[in-house]
């Protein structure tokens, strides 16, 4: 289970981090990522953490955020939208997923405004619509729970819209021609 290769043609403005340690019950914001239209590839090393993953479309104070993580205790991939915006659509979706002994966690996350798609180790996927309400919900944050998580690498790209109509509207908004 993985996204189609053609999506890579929409990537631009690559950012890369390596060897990031996030302490248990800690987090680290990744600077320079536009968190509402991005393509992320994250590799976490095996460890003793209970949960590890990331938050997308997160507000600076954490009032609004969408959590994507591996739950090592319950052996599940989780997409948690409980704080993603409109409460009537909030859900914590869980899919069976277990890392084998010594296996790295490989997440591919696509965020395109209200759509979040998550692919884990090419064998599990979850997708949801989210409805953030805050204009400042643009951060991407790595997090760990229970023990330190060592993120081997994080690669992020901004994404161009795949719909020409959306691209046209986006361009006019940037030029101040549309409100």
What distance separates the 2 farthest-apart alpha carbons in the chain?
Answer: 55
| Residues in the chain, pLDDT under 50 | 167-175, 177-179
- Interval 39-56: pLDDT, tens: 999 999 999 999 999 999
pLDDT, position 164: 57
Task: List, in order of start, the domains of the chain with CATH numbers.
Answer: 12-174 (2.60.120.560)
Q: Give the C-alpha distances (Å, rounded to integers) separating 174 from 31, 134, 167, 170.
A: 22, 19, 11, 6
The whole model's pTM is what?
0.89
Instruction: Please write the tens of the pLDDT for every residue from 136-158.
Output: 999 999 999 999 999 999 999 99
Between CA 126 and CA 137, with CA 132 as vertex, the angle to 5 degrees is: 105
State residue 87's pLDDT score: 77
pLDDT, position 171: 46
pLDDT at 25: 95
pLDDT digits (tens, 9 = 90+) for 75-84: 999 999 999 9
């Amino acid at each position: 289970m993985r996204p189609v290769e053609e999506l890579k043609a929409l990537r631009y403005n690559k950012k890369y981090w390596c060897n990031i340690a996030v302490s248990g019950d800690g987090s680290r914001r990744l600077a320079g990522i536009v968190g509402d239209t991005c393509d992320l590839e994250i590799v976490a090393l095996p460890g003793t953490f209970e949960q590890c993953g990331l938050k997308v479309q997160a507000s600076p104070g954490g009032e609004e955020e969408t959590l994507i993580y591996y739950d090592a205790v319950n052996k599940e991939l989780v997409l948690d939208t409980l704080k993603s915006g409109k409460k009537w659509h909030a859900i914590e979706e869980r899919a069976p997923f277990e890392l084998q002994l010594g296996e790295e966690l490989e997440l591919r996350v696509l965020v395109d405004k209200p759509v979040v798609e998550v692919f884990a180790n090419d064998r599990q996927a979850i997708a949801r619509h989210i409805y953030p309400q805050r204009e400042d919900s643009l951060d991407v944050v790595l997090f760990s729970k229970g023990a330190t998580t060592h993120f081997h690498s994080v690669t992020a790209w901004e994404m161009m819209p795949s719909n020409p109509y959306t691209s046209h509207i986006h361009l006019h908004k940037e030029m101040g021609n549309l409100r």
